[in-house]
Structure formats: C-alpha cells, structure tokens
Chain A
Amino acid sequence: MTMQTPAIPKFDAALPETPWRLLARRFARRRAGMIAAGFLLLLTVLALSAPLIAPQNPYDLGQVWIMENEKPPLATSSDGAHTYLLGTDGAGRDMASAILYGLRISLGIGVVSALAALAVGVVVGLAAAYAGGRIDALLMRIVDVQLSLPTILVALVLLAVLGQGVDKTLMALVLVQWATFARNVRGAALVERNKDYVEAAMGQGLPAWRIMLRHVLPNCVAPLIVTTTNQMANAITLEATMSFLGIGLPQTEPSLGLLISNGFDYVLSHQYWISVFPGVALVLLVVSISVVGDQLRVVLNPKLDA
C-alpha cells in the first residue's frame, strides 16, 4: 500500500494582501459595523435614486395638491390612485418623497463638506508638520482659536452674514470643520516624520514635498478615515440644526432638518408624522455613519481589534 502524500499548502506569493483588502476583511468580521454599513448603503442608494423611486417630486408644485394636506400615514389619495406611505405634510406633499429628497441633500452636504474640510486640513496640517517652528506655531494657534469657538455659533454668524443657500451652508461647514482635520493630520504627520523610513526616503534623494505626500500622508490614512467618517456625521447634524433654526438651506431645497422644522408646528396638534419621520431618517443616517466610523477606528487599530 502506498502512502498518501499530504497536499502541500501552496504559498501564493504572487497575491499579497493589500492594506485595503486586509481592512475590508477585518471590517467584515464586525457585526455592528456590518449592520451599520448595510443601513448606510441602503440609505445612500435610496438617496441617490430618489428621483427614480419617489412617488412624486415634492418640489414640483404641479404634482402637489394643497387639498391633500395633513394626511396620516397609509392614507389613500383623494383620487384613490396611490397611498401616502408616510402621510403628507401641511402643504400636501408626500412625506416619503420629501424624506428621500431630503436624505439626498443631507447626505450630499455631509459628504462634500467633510471631504472639502479634509482637503483643507491635509494641506494645512502637512504644511505645519513639514515647516515646523514659527509657521507650525502660527497655523496651530489659528486652529486653536477656530476649535475654541462653538461650532454652531460660528456657523450661525457666518450664515447670518452670507445668507442662505447650499453653497453658503457648505462654506460654513468647511470653515468650522477644517481645523479638526488640520490638527489630526499634523499630529499623525509629526509621528510619522520621525520614523526611519522618512530618513531613508531623504537618503534616496527625494524632495521633501514628495516625501510628505507620497510617504507620510499615506501612513496617516488610518486616523483620517475615522475622523472623516465622524466629521460627516457631525456635518449632517450641524446642517440639520442650522436648517431647523431656519438659517441653513432655503425652503426650495429642504434637507431633513428643514423637514423636521416644517413639521414641528404640527406635532402638538397630533400630526406627528410630518416631523417624526424625517427625524427617524436623520437619526438612522447619523447613527449608521457614527457606528461605521467607530468600528473603523477599532479595525484600524490592531490593539483595539480583539
């Protein structure tokens, strides 16, 4: 009888695991992270496809009838053609449609403002870490001042001066957020800058800006992913707050915050759905982003990932 030779495990040297693939694999093991990511994905798809799936365009006045106002959830329209899944608001708009469109605006503003603030923060933070000395001190004092002011106050003042609008809201959000990124980037870059591989890169004859961008910055990505995610959640809440207070977005482009605000007057007269459903959507969105960010923080730090 011949001996069976056990199969020799194949070492696949040709396919090393990229850091991104490793990150994805470790994130996939975290249940809370995957549930939140699932919700986030669902909300994103809903937001992106709002014009395709919403029963009506809530901003097209030709589709909205004032006679259909304040219908409760699951009420049928007067012509019997369709059901208002989440009811209608005081102007007769279909709440489900309004929420889909509002989600789109809230999510868009959160993502765009956080990414823009990230870009500004990376430039300022890297410049401070690279230059050091007085330039570093000056930039960081500006950051300190910015961070010591209450964000909502700064945003309020800015919007009072600038006026309403998507572009102005974005500007205000970037202005209150860039400092957080700048401080994060600088901190991470200073740690990396003192590592041997930076010295080695200088020994290769690479120019300093190239070392900062190609060697130092990629090594700071882990903390930045977490900060960016959390700042997106922050930006969405902040925009909702400003819109609720009536200084953020105009009535023609209602975000979730503005929808909540619009329904606020009806809560006491028991038409809860006009305010509550947009609120639920907002909470789902912000919580799912926060949980994803929190889980990313754990996954990106091997000491926390048990």
Chain B
Amino acid sequence: MALLEVSALVTEFHTAAGVVRALDRVSFSLERGKVLAIVGESGSGKSVTAFSLMNLLDHPGRIASGEIVFRGEDLRSATESRWRALRGDRMAMVFQDPMMSLNPVMRIGDQLAETVAIHHRNSRNEVNGQVEEALRKVGIAAPRERMRAYPHELSGGMRQRVAIANAIINRPDLIIADEPTTALDVTIQAQILYEMKQLVQTSGTALIWITHDIGVVKDLADEVCVMYAGRVIEQGLVADVLASPRHPYTRGLIDSLPNAGAAGARGRRLYSIPGSTPPLLALPPGCTFAPRCSRAAPLCATVPPAAIEGERAFRCFYPLEVA
C-alpha cells in the first residue's frame, strides 16, 4: 500500500466567468522515502495539486471529485479538525517565497515551537530540544542562538531552511514543497536541493517537489509527473521519462534546457515550445496541447486522450518512439 494515492482528482474554481477546472482527473501514487517531482508551467495546476492535497484551497476553489488516500485513510471524507491534526504533523508544506511564509513579528524559535505544541503535549524543554534539532538538521549553525532571531534578521536561504525545519519538525510522512528554491540564488538552490534529498533519505519521508524547472528533477526525484493545463500528460520513473519522453510536450520541456556542456551547443539557438498555455476557461476540445504540437493530427483537435494512471503513462495519441 502506497503512502499516498491520488486518483482521478478534480479541483474546480467556481468564478463569475464560469467553472475553471484547475485539475482534471489527476492520479499518482507515492511510496515512503520516494521523491515525486511535479513539473509544469505557470497555470498548469502544480500548486493547485499541492493545495488540494493539504485541503488548503481558498474560496472559490474546491475538490469536485476523486480520491485522496493517505496512510490508508480516505481524506475526501475527513473533517476539518482531522485535516488540522494531519497538517503540520503527518503532512507538511514548504512554500515558494521564504520572505513571506514566516510570520515577521514572531521569533523563529516560537514559530517552530508552535508547530510542535499544537500537535503534541511535550514539555517546554522537549519542544526546545526538538526545535534546536530541526534547525541543526537543515544546516543552520548555532541553532540555539538563531531560535531567538526574527525572520528579517536572516537571509533568504536561511529563512527557507527555517521553513523546511518547520516542515520536518514533527517528522511528517509527507512533505509537499511548492517551488521552494525558485526565490533563491542558484548556489543556495543547489545546497537546499542536496540537503532536502539527504533529509528524505535519512528519515524515510515522502516528498512531493513542485517545480517548473525540469532540470532539477534528474538529481532529486525518483518519479515525475508532467502537468499541462490541469492534466497530467506524462508520468513515470525520472530515468525513463527524461531519457525517453513519449509526450511531445515533455520532449519540448527537455529540449528547452540549456545544455552548456554538449557538443555543438555553443552558438545554437535554444529550443522553445511555440505558443503559450491555453486559458483554463477556454480549453481546446481535444488534446489541450494540440494547438502547440508539431505532431498534432485532426484527431487531436477533437478527441481528448484518456486520463492516465499507472507506472509509466502518457496522454497522447501519437507518442514519440521509445528512444
């Protein structure tokens, strides 16, 4: 039994302009100790997936159908108080912008302690010990002193480490990281990626890493879901998907990566996928990627390819050959 099983999840936003289907039958599963990367452009539904899994969708968003089974528990029927008990304890989230995700007027030690105290009746000493340990784990020097600092006294990288410490402090089974390195310097990004991987490996926590950068996927993740316009269009083991993408969109993403080391790369124009993502209120009737796809045939414009599920799958009538 997988730690997390998501099947045919549909999330909709009821707006004045109409119903926006932000997630359309998204399915995946995740085992303990594994890292799943969810890759996609802005508006592809990666963040909505994260917020749906935490049941933190803001009005007017709501899950319309589908199943979320976490540790064998059906979360679609969970009450808000059950969700609260899970959030921060069994499942935790790291947000994109560390400048914004910490309370500016609270000492970071207090913020971390609150995460422990709301879920566990530990003594003050125990809690302080846990906070110190969590900060040490994410590579913060002199954690005892740092606990007394306010967020504005820390650098962006340090703050994101604190946010990660806040996520791991209760040893959750699942961490969802929503583009946690996007707002950071490239060097800090690499450090944080490396440390996250270490943390996941030593603790056996499952990690969902949401990113728009398919470049980081290779080093970090075990599995990958590629999303486009609210749908998973390809999924599978990272090694398989990157070495031999079947969906033309995945191919396009991989080709868009700068590859400085490759022979003949110098001076060549970097590939980019023509066009842009369709508005979610006016999706094409067939395959959502068809208008931008070089392989599109008349069938693609009228019939949507079936939703996908399983180990290695793609949502395309005319997939690329296995390399």
Write out the residue numbers on chain B whose beta carbons fall within 8 Å of the beta carbon of A205: 83-89, 115, 118-119
CA distance A203 to B118 in the complex (A): 12
B90 to chain A, nearest CB (A): 9
Known: A14-B145, A199-B95. A204 touches B166 (CB 8 A): yes
| Residue among A16, A19, A201, A206 making CB contact with B105, cutoff 8 Å | A19
Most-contacted residue by chain B among A18, A205, A206 (CB, 10 A): A205
Write out the residue numbers on chain A whose beta carbons fall within 8 Å of the beta carbon of B84: 205-207
- Is A61's CB within 8 Å of the partner chain B? no
Residues 104-115 of chain B, each 1 if its beta carbon lies under 8 Å from chain A, else 0: 111100000011
Write out the residue numbers on chain A whose beta carbons fall within 8 Å of the beta carbon of B153: 16
- The answer on a CB contact under 8 Å between B103 and A219 is yes
| Residue among A13, A16, A197, A214 making CB contact with B101, cutoff 8 Å | A197
- The answer on a CB contact under 8 Å between B145 and A218 is no
User: How many residues of B sit at the interface, in one of the four size bands?
Assistant: 35 or more
- The answer on a CB contact under 8 Å between A201 and B103 is yes
- Is A196's CB within 8 Å of the partner chain B? yes
- The answer on a CB contact under 8 Å between B95 and A204 is no
| Residue among A200, A206, A210, A214 making CB contact with B102, cutoff 8 Å | A200
- Is A168's CB within 8 Å of the partner chain B? no
- The answer on a CB contact under 8 Å between B118 and A14 is no
| Residue among A18, A197, A203 making CB contact with B54, cutoff 8 Å | A203
Residues 5-19 of chain A, each 1 if its beta carbon lies under 8 Å from chain B, else 0: 000000001101011
Question: Which residue of chain A has its CB nearest to the CB of B51?
Answer: A199
- Is A195's CB within 8 Å of the partner chain B? yes
B263 to chain A, nearest CB (A): 44
Write out the residue numbers on chain B whose beta carbons fall within 8 Å of the beta carbon of A206: 84, 88, 114, 118
B122 to chain A, nearest CB (A): 15
A20 to chain B, nearest CB (A): 10
List which B58-90 residues lie within 8 A (CB) of chain A.
83-89
- The answer on a CB contact under 8 Å between A197 and B93 is no
CA distance A201 to B167 in the complex (A): 11
Write out the residue numbers on chain A whose beta carbons fall within 8 Å of the beta carbon of B92: 203-204
List which A195-241 residues lie within 8 A (CB) of chain B.
195-197, 199-207, 210, 214-215, 218-219, 221
- The answer on a CB contact under 8 Å between B115 and A204 is yes
Known: A200-B163, A219-B104. A16 touches B148 (CB 8 A): yes
Write out the residue numbers on chain B whose beta carbons fall within 8 Å of the beta carbon of A197: 100-104
- Is B142's CB within 8 Å of the partner chain A? yes
| Residue among B105, B118, B145, B148 making CB contact with A204, cutoff 8 Å | B118
Residue positions of B touching A, CB distance < 8 A: 54, 56, 83-89, 92-93, 95-97, 100-107, 114-115, 118-119, 142, 145-146, 148-150, 153, 163, 166
A-B contact pairs, 23 of them (CB 8 A): A13-B149, A16-B107, A195-B100, A196-B95, A196-B96, A196-B97, A196-B100, A197-B100, A199-B56, A199-B95, A200-B102, A200-B166, A204-B115, A204-B118, A204-B166, A205-B86, A205-B89, A206-B88, A206-B114, A215-B103, A218-B103, A218-B106, A219-B105
Residue positions of A touching B, CB distance < 8 A: 13-14, 16, 18-19, 195-197, 199-207, 210, 214-215, 218-219, 221
